[in-house]
Structure formats: structure tokens, C-alpha cells
Amino acid sequence: MLQVYLVRHGETVWNAARRIQGQSDSPLTEKGEQQAHQVGERVKSLGITHVIASDLGRTRRTAEIIADACGCEVTLDARLRELDMGCLEQRELDHLTAEEESWRKALVDGTEGGRIPDGESMQELATRMHAALNTLRALPEGSRPLVVSHGMALGALVSTILGLPAHAERRLRLRNCSLSRVDYQQSAWLAPGWIVEMAGDISHLDAPALDELQR
């Protein structure tokens, strides 16, 4: 059985300011750095052998802190990037027009094929996230990888493993530096392949971040 741990990046300046990031970037806040150290302490005894991260700065920095705690190197994979949010990237949530807000809501309210102009659909996001996850099946026997990615990206991955369509209503909360785990297995009482063992655990954090999912 292959166990893969999943971590969302630490809190960023734009998370705290309620700005849309997508594939644009902003640095971790002091709180975000602290969260990354806390999740590193949580996982350092789990035998992590590989740390794989989105190539965006906020995930790369989170991964570096975790990898240092685990004694691993960081490998970057652009397929683990956040959803491309097109023309709304870098915009403040509280200053969107009604039409712009309708584009954003279509990503989370179950609208099939919803997308922000010049951005990705949830299906496109889920497809590349699954491709990145399945690559890990080629790691040597006994490997225990940890993936650092983003809220929408990890939510799409976990939800579709559970059998939901990629465009399904978004009901899985993955806070900054939350810890999840998916396993590739064969079981008499579970469907073969990827299953969800744990999702969104923040018991290692001393306080949740003030990101856009909490408000």
C-alpha cells in the first residue's frame, strides 16, 4: 500500500488580505511560516521519504520547511499548482462586481463547466492533479511521499477520489497547513485504487489561519 500525505501551503499575505491568488503568488506570513514548522514537526516521525511540491513560491517555501524537518529534498511539479483563476487573479474578494462574483461562485456551487474567463475548469484541475498523484506510484517500494499543494487543487483531488464529479459543490474545508492522506490499496471492503484515509486535520496547529475559507 502506498501512503501519500497531502499538505496545503501555509497562510500567505494574500490569504490574510482576502485576495485571489490562483497561480499568482504572495509570500507566507509569519503565521504561515509557523504553520509550516508545526506541520513539519507533525510529520517528521512518519518516515517521509519524498517531498513533492507545486512550483509556486508559497508551496515551495512550505515544502522546504517540511523537508528540512524530515531530512528530504524537495521536488517541484507544476501539475500541483493551484487552479488558474484567470482574469480574477490578484483581485480582492470584497471588490468583485456581481458578474465577476458569479464567475467565482461557479467554481464552488456545482456549476458544470464553470470557469473564470482565461482560467481553468475544475475538471481540468482535477485531471492534472490525478496525473501528478499517479506518478507517485512509480516510486520505489516502501516510499512515503508528502505533497504540498493548494486549497482548490487538493480539494478537487480528494473530492474526486471520493467519487464526486470535479464540478461538485465544494464542501471540503482544507485550511492552511492542514494534513490529509490518501492511500493506493487493494481491500476486500473498499474500492480498489486510491482511497481517502484522512482529510483536513489541523490538530498540529496552535490556531487556524485567517484565510478565505475561515471567514
Annotated binding-site positions for substrate:
8-15, 21-22, 58, 60, 82-85, 151-152
CA–CA separation, 181 vs 147, rounded Å? 10
Question: All 3 cell numbers of residue 214?
Answer: 475561515
> Which positions make up the binding site?
8-15, 21-22, 58, 60, 82-85, 151-152
Does 73 participate in catalysis according to the annotation?
no
Does 50 participate in catalysis according to the annotation?
no
Q: How far is CA 33 from the centre of its chain?
A: 16
The alpha helices in the chain, defined as continuous H runs, are: 13-17, 30-43, 57-70, 98-105, 122-135, 151-161
Strand, coil or helix: 48: coil
* For the chain, the helix, strand and coil percentages under 3-state DSSP, each to the nearest 5: 35, 20, 40
Q: Which of 50, 82, 150, 167 is catalytic?
A: 82
Q: Which of 9, 50, 150, 167 is catalytic?
A: 9
Report the catalytic residues: 9, 82
